[in-house]
Amino acid sequence: MVARSICQVLGGAEHGGLERHFIDLCNALSERHQVTAIAHPMHAEALAPAVHLVPLDMSGSRFNPRLLWQLHRALRDAMPDLVHSHANKATAMLATLKPWLSMSFVATLHNDKSRLSMFRKCDAVIAVSRTLAESLPRSGVEVIPNGIAEPGPVDPARVEALQATLQNPPLVLAVGRLVEAKGFDLLLQCWRDMPAQLWIAGEGPQRDALQGLIQDYGLGDRVALLGERDDIDVLMQAADLLVLPSRREGFPYVLVEALFQRLPVVAARVPGAVDLLPPDWLFEIDDAPALTALLQAALAQPDQIGSDFEPVWQRTRAECSLQHMVGRTEAVYQKVLHG
């Protein structure tokens, strides 16, 4: 694709999968294009030096006239060939401003939402999973899953050190913010019947409630809340299985990371998991008995689950790399700019 001036717009002020996608895309595109990022100033350190950040706190109402005027001014100053919004809020604001913008407009849907009419005004729409694409009120949606950079090698000594601390192997790992949407309360309910160790990596407002459930269920010797970790790759190498009990997802990065590490996964039927995983290792959202049965089967049949996941691991490396994500996004830009 010929080098272009591209503006990426993000309304979020958190540190999650949406923000990671935005930052990775901006940084990768800046290697070949002129990239302006309009986003909260909290993202400044994560963006590459080649990305021009226009700091704008969009945490207020999407209907705020002053905020809309600030966004319009930032776009007018940047004058990009194409503007790409991420998630509903930024897309709704750009849809409002579109009559006064002389630039192409692409948007990405990252999470399941009930109000999606703003995506009708885009020149092209990307969804990060097939499930999300099917929810959009328009045809021709491009499905481009979240992609990650090829992970570096993991020191075997670090893996062995972690495994040496296990009291009740095998080890099952869960990763995510400690919030209701991640379903860790459901997972603890199932763990009363599980002869294995469970480590949950992540932090969040449900920590005290989850710790209370661990005590109530008598799981103190088999379940540990690890808190925020910077060695998820080592944890995945040490684990026998990843479990994703989420109630809501867009396309979970932790799922892709686990598959890159050749770790099998048992997951709820959420977007992303439905796209990538064998149906036999999926359970209906909030179905504790089904989750319990799948976990027991996975731990009892490690050879079978490994055989089932071999093609999944290969496909993930081909279709969920950062390079693949960026290349397919550029193809959408090319189509819009030459359409």
Q: What is the pLDDT of residues 207-251, one digit of tens each?
A: 999 999 999 999 999 999 999 999 999 999 999 999 999 999 989
Q: What letters, b where the CB count within 10 A reaches 16 and e where it falls short, cover 179-189?
A: eeebbbbbbbb
* Neighbouring residues of 81: CB distance < 8 A, sequence distance ≥ 6: 4, 5, 6, 103, 104, 337
- Give 140's pLDDT tier (boundaries 50, 70, 90): confident
State both tokens at 214: 């661990």
Answer whether residue 23 shows pLDDT above 90: yes
281-309 tens-digit pLDDT: 999 999 999 999 999 999 999 989 999 99
- Give 13's pLDDT tier (boundaries 50, 70, 90): confident
Tell me which residue of 266, 265, 268 sits closest to 284, measured CA to CA.
268
Q: At what angle do helices 65-78 and 87-97 cross, to 10 degrees?
A: 80
pLDDT of residue 53: 97
One-letter amino acid at 293 equals A
CA dihedral 6, 12, 13, 18 (to 10 degrees): -80
Q: Are 178 and 245 in contact (CB under 8 A)?
A: no
247-268 tens-digit pLDDT: 999 899 999 999 999 999 999 9
169-190 tens-digit pLDDT: 899 999 999 999 999 999 999 9
Tell me which residue of 275, 278, 259 sits closest to 321, measured CA to CA.
259
d(CA 196, CA 190): 12
> How many alpha carbons lie under 13 Å from residue 256 in its C-beta half-sphere?
26
- What are the structural domains of the chain? 5-149+321-337 (3.40.50.2000), 156-319 (3.40.50.2000)
pTM tops 0.75, yes or no: yes
Residue 149 is given by DSSP the state: P
Tell me whether strands 241-244 and 223-227 are parallel, antiparallel or unpaired: unpaired
Chain mean pLDDT for the chain: 93
How many Cβ atoms are within 10 Å of 45's Cβ, its own excluded? 7
Cis peptide before 170 (omega within 30 of 0): yes
25-50 tens-digit pLDDT: 999 999 999 999 999 999 999 999 99
* Beta bridge partners of residue 171, listed in sequence order: 197
